[in-house]
Amino acid sequence: MLYGHRSRNTTNSKGSQVNTEHTAPQQPKTSSRRRLFSTLLGGAVATVPTLAASRVRAAGASTDTTAPETLVPEVAEMTTTDSTPMMMNDAPPMQSKTVSAGATAPPLQPTAQDKEILNIALGVELAIRDLYANIVAAGNLSDEESPVVLLIHSHHVAYAQSLGGLLGRAAINKRNDATYSQFSDNLKGTFASIASQLVAIENGAVTRHINSLNQLEGLNGSTLIASIISIESRHAAALASVAKKPLNAIIENYQDSIAIGA
């Protein structure tokens, strides 16, 4: 399979370089949809149990926006490590110390401003979690498509949980209604008919998170957001391939930021 380059090099507000680089495939000529998703999303698609889809359909989409909810825990358990946001315990130990006269390294923990920014990111991820849950609950997916959507849904559940864990008691565990309303009425058809909307969701979230990354000061928050950007960009590339987007639309992101409200 041929790979194109999809990357963004950006800095947080303290000037630290954060690389969100990853590769995205060029339009394959012979690979099946399942093989494409399996490659892009870490190889977990083929192992997702079909039982999970029926459980979500039976339960319906969550209306509880007070806390992230894992609708399909089996999927979350089967995701590979490269599809999971980096947890702070996995990051190399760092200390805030003076590096030159009058200058200090960025703080590890989120500042007061960081907490506001990260809570917006949390609300966005909770909204996207619910959008994907609605798609599965509608029952319009094939046996091949359902595991893919369930897998991406489980990633957004993990992102929300990671953000909530980093924020601790400062977390506002409520989905962003502006994000949810922007797409909720346009996701009621077949997978083929909504694939372009899913690309817009993922790319819009990536743009929003990059904007957040440029404002964050703490390294823990910056590292977490950067890891989310990388995987959501991969989501967008996979979905754009299935939607038969041209190559430049697969490897580049021209989407405006997802709506977050006032």
Residue 236 lies in a domain: yes
Residue 91 lies in a domain: no
What does the block give as tokens for 116?
């506001």
DSSP 49: -
What does the block give as tokens for 181?
């309303």
Please give the Cα distance from 254 to 252 (Å, whole number). Answer: 6
Please give the Cα distance from 42 to 68 (Å, whole number). Answer: 23
Contact 137, 59 (CB under 8 A): yes
Q: How many CA atoms lie within 13 A of 119 on its CB side?
A: 15
Q: Is the dihedral of CA 79, 85, 88, 92 positive or negative?
A: positive
DSSP string for 192-222: HHHHHHHHHHHHHHHHHHHHHHTT---HHHH
Residue-number span of the structural domain to which 193 is assigned: 38-60+71-82+107-262
pLDDT tens track of the chain, all 262 residues? 444 444 455 556 566 555 555 444 444 443 455 555 555 555 433 333 332 333 344 344 443 444 444 444 333 333 333 445 544 445 444 444 445 556 788 899 999 999 999 999 999 999 999 999 999 999 999 999 999 999 999 999 999 999 999 999 999 999 999 999 999 999 999 999 999 999 999 999 999 999 999 999 999 999 999 999 999 999 999 999 888 888 888 888 988 999 998 6
Task: Count how many domains the chain has.
Answer: 1
Contacts of 250 (CB under 8 A, 6+ apart): 4, 6, 24, 25, 26, 27, 237, 240, 241
Q: Is the dihedral of CA 172, 72, 47, 45 positive or negative?
A: negative
Contacts of 149 (CB under 8 A, 6+ apart): 132, 135, 136, 141, 191
Residue 11 lies in a domain: no
Residue 98 lies in a domain: no
Residue 102 lies in a domain: no
What does the block give as tokens for 37?
């998703």
Residue 26 lies in a domain: no
Contact 50, 34 (CB under 8 A): no
Give pLDDT, residue 50: 31
Q: In 3-state terms, what secondary structure has residue 126?
A: helix
Residue 195 lies in a domain: yes
Kindly report the CATH number assigned to the domain that includes residue 249: 1.20.1260
Give pLDDT, residue 65: 42
Residue 14 lies in a domain: no
